[in-house]
Structure 1
Amino acid sequence: MYLQDILPRMSKLYLGRIVDSFLKDVHMDTEEEMREVILKNIDEFQNKERVKRYLDFSNEQRDVSLLNEMILMALMEKEGYILSESELYKEVEDMENEMIKLGSDDNYINRFIQKDAKRIYSSVLDEAWKKDESLNAHEINILNVLRNELDLSKREHYLLESRIGRFPRKGNVLHTHQQISRSLINLQTRGLILRFREDTSYYIIPKDIARILRYEMGGELRNEVYAALLGDLNVTQLREILNNLDFSASGVKEVLVNRIIEYNILPSTALKVFGSKELSDILRNLEGTKISGTKKEKIQNIIDYYETLSTPTSSDPTDERARLYDFYESLSARDYKTLRINKIIEKDVQVDNYFEEATRYIFDLKFGLNLMEMEGTRHADGKVKFSSTEVILWDNKSTEEPYTFPDKDFKQFLKYIRSDKMRVTLFLIVVHDYTKEAVAQAQKLKAFSDADTDVALIKAADLAYVAEEWKKFSDQKEPQFNLQVFNMTGELTRNMLLSRMEWALKGSQMV
């Protein structure tokens, strides 16, 4: 979920922590004021340098710093970067227990950490910890430099710490729930995770910053996505990975894939087995990826490609249009890479048709409205009845850049409005994003319509949000969608839609 999807679910206390993370000396009395100021400053929230700055935990106490990393790692391994509070506590405990278990396994350590790297790093690490009960910022920096030189991951650092009785705490003692709670608050005040409550409490890394965070922390792939990567390798390559780490390489392809995942062979570790040329060959089969670069960069490019993969499961297996709806924003933004990786499109020209089909799915299945047939081939992308004498038309415009509402579209839409046999009370334009000029054009189209037709611009992300959330605003046992939610001229922002759903979907207000 994006930040704007999460904000309406958050209470004042947790909204305040976000505000404090990137806006200082700003006082607001209400939740609505907080949401508005956060959205107005969303560019600062998404700023890469801000995220990188707050990912520096070197000045925090050891327990807070370590738990911050554990919590973020746990969230990054989940689809949607989200966990309930109870799940998150368990994930952190399980991760700490696993590190201790694997750290004490000599065979595992010898397989995954090169002998000289282990000897050198362990000696420096042991010496750093002898001084007192913590590592200062200078010592942490030296260890980071040494890790990079020896090509060791942060996970391997933790494994070696556990072998000298220093992970997660002295004597390999696990962190308490109270300590985890303190780190959860710390991460919220840094604007790295958000907390909201529905049936239970949830913690989430907003999609706005998830990719930045994953890169900076060297995040690996979720198992289901990792399995897709391994499935694209051939049997010889899978056996090469297992042989290189002294694991059994017998069995059919499915067995080999499962064994690699079962033995916690990380994607970066598996791909290190291949030479630079073979990594380039793998990248050539991954459309849109950069092939050149160092071996480390090529490995990261492969991981990045598969990170873009979504779950192959459709949100509604009974309707083939649901898979298009699952990638609605990507279709609206012509995100060809994501669409091709997830096998949504085979050709670029399919984007427009699929964007239109996904929108029809929303009005048909999500809103429960009857779509009206339109004569001929030159007409709007969709039409629904508003009243006995009025209709609503909509049109989809997918663009890589914000939609500008060019004159050719103005003329096209004006023709659609004027040629319909019924009065068009609203013409809705669905886009990925739009410019201020587009909003002005919408006002102009209303004036030229000759029928006082409202013309509204709505982002695909916001239309999908309404599709998922509108029933929560209704007080009816069997909710019915009210098109008054969209019936205005200008831009249908998230806040505007929330306001209109508040009054338009009550039973007494239905028209």
Structure 2
Amino acid sequence: MKVADAIKWMSKLPLQRIVDSFTKDFPKPDEDQARDIILRNVAELTDAKRITTVLQFDGPFKDQIRQILMLEAFVNRPDWSASEQDIVESLTRLEQDVLDAAAADGSLRYEDPERIEILKDVLRTALDDKLITFRELNLLRTLRDSLGLSETVFRIVLAQLNHFPQPGNVLHTPSECRDVLNALQRGGIVFHCNKADGSPYVIPDEIRASVMGALGMELGLHAWGLLLDALTVTQLKQALVKKKLPTSGTKSELKSRVISSGLSPSAALRILSTGDLHELCSSLPGVPVSGTKAQRIRRIIGYFANLITKEVSEEASPGERFYKYLPELARRDRENLLANQIIKKDLDIEHGFEAATRFLFESRLGLELMELAGSEHPDGCIRFGGRRTANGDVLMWDNKSTEAAYTFPPSHLRQFKRYIRDARDPVACFLVIVAKPDDSAMDSVWQLAAQCTGTQISVIAAEDLGWMAEEWWSRNPDGRFNLEVLNMTGILNRPLLEHRMKLFL
């Protein structure tokens, strides 16, 4: 979620916290004023140096650990958003997993005992000082890396010293977690979308890279898992051999073992041969295969770091899985679609786009789709309901996926005209669902509307259609959407949709 989208779901107090994070010039703006201030200052708000300064503070070691774990809880969410309860549970799980590992026999049996003792001696000295500067924390991380130890091992050692996540190995309370959430809001890092369904906390897209940099992380848990999915069983075993870990088990078990080992993505990729990296690069859409080994590794990690990942339930139907990636299907974003296993080949994009749209109309808008005979027909058709025979009776739609902005070419004009002319029922509205409408598309919109008297011609971006559907569904999960919202000639953008939803819903 981008900053511009997040602030639409925020009330006055959360908005004020974000404004105060970068300026004190506006003490009491109302909601609209606060949103305008934020939008005019997005560059300053999302500046990497500002974010790094906020996150690198000097304070008690337990407070630094608490903030790091809180941010990791966000990073490990596919869409970097969660309710307060989900975030608290995620943070508690991260802490408890470390304590469980520290209490288990042989949790460090594959590590060099001498290196563990060196780390323990340095940590004992550092922990005697109640205040640890960020520079000192970075020195501890540098020592950890020079010893060839992972962050996981670092935390287990802290727990064995009775100091994780705070003195006495005491878990942080929900109240302490809320304190961190509030502090991150005041720092302009976390946005509380308290008007949205579930009242989620979000780290916007524009801020994520800087957060990852401040944490010293290369990939979130989900993206790291996708990278490991792209490796072969043999390559996973090579990574485990490097860590002196067992290599038996299924690919899923090997993958989990690599993740829990604390091995970083770059370290795992450095184990591979130049030929393996060349082959891996060639399997990732848009990733160049030339260059040095280090360059290939950076490109591979960059590829997975920039993937759009979304939370999809394991019980989700195929239609819902496609629906979660509706904008990506519309713009033919094959990199994200392939990496997230939404499609297996390019030919699946059109089918997925159509299935996602059918799910939207049926499951989100509560509408019943009409059966269409033959193969020469639009992608979908819905009856308006009631008696509307004077002005048409149905809404037809057709999906057109394009990588570039949609220009409404003459061939599509002729195709849609044929659909409208041959329809069994009068067509009140013909809706074209695209990635992004180009302004020039309006020429064909007016032309088709003039040639099909009585039919409204609308063009809408898939992302805006999805936004509208979620808005409706969050308020009326069992209601039937009023198609009059879409029944107009022109390009339906989000402000226009908001206005028409107020009129007709």
TM-score tier by shorter-chain length is 0.7 to 0.9
Alpha carbons 1:328, 1:355 under 8 Å: kept:
yes
- The one-letter code matched in structure 2 to 1:86 is Q
Correspondence for 2:401 among 393, 398, 410? 398
2:467 paired residue among 453, 465, 468: 465
CA drift of 1:188 comes to: 1.6
Aligned equivalent of 2:94: 95
Pick the aligned partner of 2:165 from 138, 159, 168. Answer: 168
Q: Give the SS at the match of 1:462.
A: helix
Q: Indicate conservation of the 8 Å contact 1:220/1:266, yes or no.
A: no
Residue aligning to 1:111: 110
Q: 1:440 to 1:188 in 2, by over 3 A?
A: farther
Query: 2 CA distance for matches of 1:353 and 1:230?
Result: 25
Residue 77 (structure 1) aligns with:
76
Which letter does structure 2 place at the counterpart of 1:370?
Answer: L
Matched, 1:348 2:346: yes
Structure-2 residue corresponding to 1:432 = 435
Contact kept in structure 2, 1:423 and 1:451, CA below 8 Å: no
Evaluate the alpha carbon distance shift between residue 34 and residue 393 of structure 1 in structure 2; reply closer, same or farther with a 3 A threshold: farther
Structure 1: state its 5+ residue gaps: 506-511
Deviations 1:189-224 (A, max 9, x none): 233323345786543334565466446531545479
Rounded Cα–Cα distance in structure 1 between residues aligned with 2:362 and 2:197: 28
**Structure 2 residue ranges without an equivalent (≥5):** none
2:83 and 2:263 map into 1 onto residues whose CA distance is: 25
What per-residue deviation string (whole Å, max 9, x for no partner) do you get for residues 349-373 of structure 1? 5434532343244334443133364
CA distance in 2, matches of 1:442, 1:209: 39
Taking a change above 3 Å as real, the CA distance of residues 498 and 150 of structure 1, as seen in their structure-2 partners, is farther
Summarize the Cα distance change of 1:342–1:179 in structure 2 as closer, same or farther, 3 Å threshold.
Answer: closer
What does the per-residue CA deviation read over 1:253-297, in whole Å, with 9 as the maximum and x for residues that have no partner?
A: 565555556x55556398268244375166257322455544596
Amino acid at match of 1:467: A
Give the Cα–Cα distance (whole angstroms) in 1 for the partners of residues 134 and 250 of structure 2: 49
Cross-structure match for 1:509: none
The question of whether the paired residues in 2 share the 8 Å contact of 1:290 and 1:301 is answered with no
Q: Which residue of 2 aligns with 1:480?
A: 480
Q: Which residue matches 1:497?
A: 497
How large is the Cα RMSD of the aligned pairs? 4.6
Aligned to 1:328: 326
Question: For 1:356-412, what per-residue CA distance to the aligned partner results, in whole angstroms no more than 9, with x for missing partners?
Answer: 3432443344431333648874x6544434432414343433233344x25536854
Q: Structure 1: how far apart are the matches of 2:59 and 2:492?
A: 43
Report the equivalent of 1:287: 284
The DSSP-based 3-state class of the residue aligned with 2:469 is helix
1:363 matched to which residue of 2? 361
CA deviation after TM superposition for structure 1 residue 135, in Å: 1.9
Q: Structure 2 vs 1, CA of residues 2 and 313 (structure 1 numbering), >3 Å: closer, same or farther?
A: same
| Contact 1:333–1:399, Cα closer than 8 Å, also in 2 | yes
**Residues 24 and 366 from structure 1, CA distance in 2 versus in 1: closer, same or farther, beyond 3 angstroms?**
same
The residue type paired with residue 328 of structure 1 is L
Q: How many residues align?
A: 493
Q: Could you tell me the percent identity over the aligned residues?
A: 27
| TM-score normalized with structure 2 length | 0.76
Sort the Cα spacing of 1:496 and 1:44 in 2 relative to 1 into closer, same or farther, 3 A.
farther
Q: Is the 8 A contact 1:51 1:213 kept in 2?
A: no
1:134 and 2:131 correspond: yes
- The CA distance in 2 between the partners of 1:51 and 1:21, in whole Å, is 10
**Separation in 1, partners of 2:491, 2:74:** 34
Q: What TM-score results when the alignment is normalised by the length of structure 1?
A: 0.75
**Matched position secondary structure for 1:184:** helix
Corresponding letter in the other structure for 1:194: F
Tell me the distance in 1 between the aligned counterparts of 2:73 and 2:90. 6
Measure the CA separation in 2 of the matches of 1:224 and 1:195.
Answer: 24
Change (3 A) 1:293 1:224: closer
1:475-501 alpha-carbon deviations (Å, 9 max, x no partner): xx9522111122334443434434433
- Paired with 1:346 and 1:237, the residues of 2 have a C-alpha distance of 22
Cα deviation, residue 343, structure 1: 3.8
Counterpart CA distance in 2 for 1:457 and 1:21 is 39
Residue 57 (structure 2) aligns with: 58
Q: Quickly say closer, same or farther: Cα 1:304–1:125, change in 2 above 3 A.
A: farther
Contact 1:393 1:424 in 2 (8 A): yes
Task: Compute the displacement of 1:232 (Å).
Answer: 4.9
After TM superposition, give the deviation of residue 82 of structure 1 in Å: 3.6
CA positional deviation for 1:15: 3.0
Shift of 1:331: 0.8
Q: Which moved more, 1:133-142 or 1:408-417?
A: 408-417
Give the whole-Å Cα distance in 1 for the aligned partners of 2:430 and 2:472. 20
Comparing 424-433 and 211-220, the one that deviates more: 211-220
Q: Say which SS state the counterpart of residue 111 (structure 1) adopts.
A: coil
Classify 1:362/1:138 alpha carbon distance in 2 versus 1 (closer, same or farther; 3 Å). closer
Displacement of 1:73 after TM fit? 0.7
